[in-house]
Structure 1
Amino acid sequence: MIMKNLRNNASLLDNMLHKTPRKQDQAQCVLNKATLTVLTLLALVVAPNIVLAKPLSSDAATIAELTILSGGDRMPGLIYIAAGKGPHPTAVFLHGYPGNERSLDVAQAARAAGWNAVYFNYRGAWGAEGEFSFMNAEADVQSTLKYLSDPDNATRLRIDPKQLSLVGHSLGGHMSVAGMLDNENVRCAVAYDGVNIGAWAVSDTLWSDYSDTLFMLKDWSGAKSISEVDAHRAKFDLVPRLRSLGERHMLILAADTQVIPMEQHITPIVDTVRQQSPSQLEYHVIQDDHSFSSNRKAVTELTISFLNRRCLVK
Structure 2
Amino acid sequence: MFDKAYVTKDVDIFEGDSKFLPDLLYAGVVSHGSNLNGFMLKAQGEGPHPTALLLHGFPGYDDPIDLAHALRRCGMNVLRFHYRGCWGVKGDYSFTHCMEDVKAGIDYLVDENTVKEFNIDTDNLFLIGHSMGGFMTLTHACDERIKASVAISPYDFGLIGKIGHYDEKEKDEAFEMYKTALAPLNGTSAEALMQECLDNGDKWNLPDKAEALANEKLLITVGTRDTVSKKYLHHDKLASEIKKYNKNNLTEAFADTDHSYANKRVWLAQTVAEFLEKIINEK
TM bracket (short chain)? 0.7 to 0.9
Q: Deviations over 1:133-160 (max 9, x none)?
A: 1111111111000011100111001112
For 1:313 and 1:68, locate their aligned partners in 2 and report how far apart those are by CA, in whole Å: 30
Shift of 1:313: 5.9
Shift of 1:233: 0.8
For 2:102 and 2:85, locate their aligned partners in 1 and report how far apart those are by CA, in whole Å: 14
- The runs of at least 4 consecutive aligned structure 1 residues that moved more than 6 Å come to none
Matches within 5 A, 1:59-70: 59-70=20-31
- 3-state DSSP of counterpart to 2:87: coil
Consecutive unaligned residues in structure 2, runs of 5 or more: 1-13
Does residue 215 (structure 1) correspond to residue 183 (structure 2)? The answer is yes
The change in CA–CA distance for 1:309 and 1:134 in structure 2 (over 3 A counts) is same
Shift of 1:246: 6.0
Corresponding letter in the other structure for 1:294: N
Matches within 5 A, 1:77-226: 77-181=38-142, 183-200=143-160, 204-213=171-180, 214-226=182-194
Shift of 1:102: 2.0
Q: Deviations over 1:80-125 (max 9, x none)?
A: 1111111111011101111122211111111111111111111111
User: Relative contact order, CA 8 A, sep 6+: which one is greater?
Assistant: 2
Shift of 1:247: 4.2
Which residue of 204, 225, 242 maps to 1:236? 204
Corresponding letter in the other structure for 1:269: L
Kindly indicate whether the alpha-carbon contact (under 8 Å) linking 1:165 and 1:311 is maintained by their aligned counterparts in 2.
Answer: no
For 1:237 and 1:272, locate their aligned partners in 2 and report how far apart those are by CA, in whole Å: 12
Kindly indicate whether the alpha-carbon contact (under 8 Å) linking 2:91 and 2:187 is maintained by their aligned counterparts in 1.
Answer: no
Does residue 304 (structure 1) correspond to residue 264 (structure 2)? The answer is no
Shift of 1:290: 0.7
Shift of 1:195: 1.1
For 2:215 and 2:280, locate their aligned partners in 1 and report how far apart those are by CA, in whole Å: 11
CA RMSD, Structure 1 to Structure 2 (Å): 2.0
Shift of 1:63: 1.2
For 2:39 and 2:281, locate their aligned partners in 1 and report how far apart those are by CA, in whole Å: 22
Shift of 1:240: 2.3
Consecutive unaligned residues in structure 1, runs of 5 or more: 1-52
Shift of 1:237: 1.0
The change in CA–CA distance for 1:98 and 1:312 in structure 2 (over 3 A counts) is farther
The change in CA–CA distance for 1:311 and 1:268 in structure 2 (over 3 A counts) is farther
Corresponding letter in the other structure for 2:18: S
Corresponding letter in the other structure for 2:204: F
Does residue 263 (structure 1) correspond to residue 224 (structure 2)? The answer is no
What is the TM-score when the length of structure 2 is the normalising length?
0.86
Q: Deviations over 1:174-205 (max 9, x none)?
A: 01111212x11111111111111111156644
For 1:106 and 1:95, locate their aligned partners in 2 and report how far apart those are by CA, in whole Å: 11
Percent identity of paired positions between Structure 1 and Structure 2: 27
Q: How many residue pairs end up in the alignment?
A: 261
